[in-house]
């Protein structure tokens, strides 16, 4: 469903992503983990077609993000880091804008918007401007935008970052509901939610993949069997190697 092939990206002298490859099948939720500045967001932005890779390719539902960008982007839902939104719009206005930009069939637009509003549980704030919403609601409006066109592939950059425990649970439940029919990538800093939410985890550090396994499999690589210490050990190890 999603095939990421040897992505490379440099910003000037900084080599941010160095040959990242992985595939995600339908029904899989992949946790994309790594320290700050490891290249998570850069990789996700390349998958979403926001950033052009220096080398490599991304195949979304059979379409290349390089040679057939619009078709690939049509099959992909993306929640950028921090869920940027148009503050002067209400959530339904924002979703109508996305539906029009994505050229969804006119007849199905209203249904798609109603479904996204219901799925993201934002019907109670429909009349408020997005700029007046709390962080949790803003994140959910962003999520509604990402799932509006019911894409087979979802790329969510820190969907639960900065949310309170209840909001996190709501987002996790939404992802779990969508999981069987989609290929989903989620980046997160909160390692404790990874085993509950993800079937698989890819650990990235300094632009390279250093582990690709089930959350339990990665956890087993540490002495005490927790994901936290495995994360610390694996990312430290890379640091040692490069010194």
Partner 1 sequence: MIDVFVRQMSGFGAAYRRELGAYFATPMAYVFLAVFLLALGLFTWEAGRFFDTGVADLQPFFMWHPWLYMIFLPALAMRLWTDEASDGTDELLLSLPVGIPGLVLGKLLAAWTVAAVGLALTLPMWVSVNFLGPADNTAIALTYFVSLLMAGAYLSIGAAVSALTGSQVTAFVISVVIAFVFTAAGWPLVLSTVQGLFGTAFADLVARFSFITQFEGAQRGVLELRAVAYFTGFIATFAYLNCLWASRQRLG
Q: Cα–Cα distance between 1 and 51 in angstroms, integer? A: 20
Look up residue 238 and give its two tokens: 């890379």
Q: Which stretch binds partner 1 (CB under 8 A): 50-58, 106-114, 194-202, 219-227?
A: 50-58
Q: Identify whether the C-beta of residue 130 lies closer than 8 Å to the C-beta of residue 87.
A: yes
97 binding partner 1? (CB under 8 A): yes
Q: Cα–Cα distance between 107 and 46 in angstroms, integer? A: 32
- Evaluate the CA torsion angle 175, 180, 183, 189 in order and state its sign: positive
Among 5, 18, 50, 150, binds partner 1 (CB under 8 A): 50
Looking at the Cβ atoms of 106 and 166, the one nearer to partner 1 is 106
State the binding string over 122-151 for partner 1 (x if CB under 8 A, else -).
-----------------------x------
80 binding partner 1? (CB under 8 A): yes
103 binding partner 1? (CB under 8 A): yes
Among 51, 153, 154, 218, binds partner 1 (CB under 8 A): 51
Q: Cα–Cα distance between 44 and 42 in angstroms, integer? A: 5
Burial environment of residue 61 by CB neighbours within 10 A (0 to 12, 13 to 18, 19 or more): middle
48 binding partner 1? (CB under 8 A): yes
List contacts with partner 1 (CB under 8 A): 9, 11, 42, 45, 48-52, 69-71, 73-74, 76, 78, 80, 82, 84-89, 93, 97-98, 100-103, 145
């Amino acid at each position: 469903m999603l095939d990421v092939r040897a992505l490379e990206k440099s910003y000037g002298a900084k080599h941010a992503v160095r040959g990242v490859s992985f595939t995600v099948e339908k029904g899989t939720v992949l946790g994309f983990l790594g320290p700050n500045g490891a290249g998570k967001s850069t990789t996700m932005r390349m998958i979403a077609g926001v950033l052009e890779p220096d080398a490599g390719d991304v195949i979304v539902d059979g379409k290349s993000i390089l040679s057939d960008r619009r078709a690939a982007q049509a099959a992909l839902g993306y929640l950028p880091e921090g869920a940027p939104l148009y503050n002067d719009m209400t959530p339904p206005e924002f979703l109508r804008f996305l539906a029009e930009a994505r050229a969804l069939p006119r007849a199905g637009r209203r249904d798609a918007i109603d479904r996204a509003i219901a799925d993201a549980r934002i019907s109670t704030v429909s009349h408020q401007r997005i700029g007046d919403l709390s962080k949790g609601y803003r994140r959910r409006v962003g999520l509604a935008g990402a799932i509006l066109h019911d894409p087979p592939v979802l790329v969510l950059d820190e969907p639960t970052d900065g949310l309170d425990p209840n909001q996190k649970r709501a987002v996790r439940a939404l992802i779990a509901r969508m999981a069987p029919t989609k290929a989903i990538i989620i980046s997160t800093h909160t390692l404790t939610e990874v085993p509950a939410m993800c079937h698989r985890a890819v650990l990235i550090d300094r632009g390279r993949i250093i582990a690709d396994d089930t959350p339990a499999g990665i956890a087993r690589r540490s002495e005490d069997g927790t994901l936290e210490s495995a994360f610390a050990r694996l990312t430290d190890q890379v640091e040692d190697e490069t010194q």
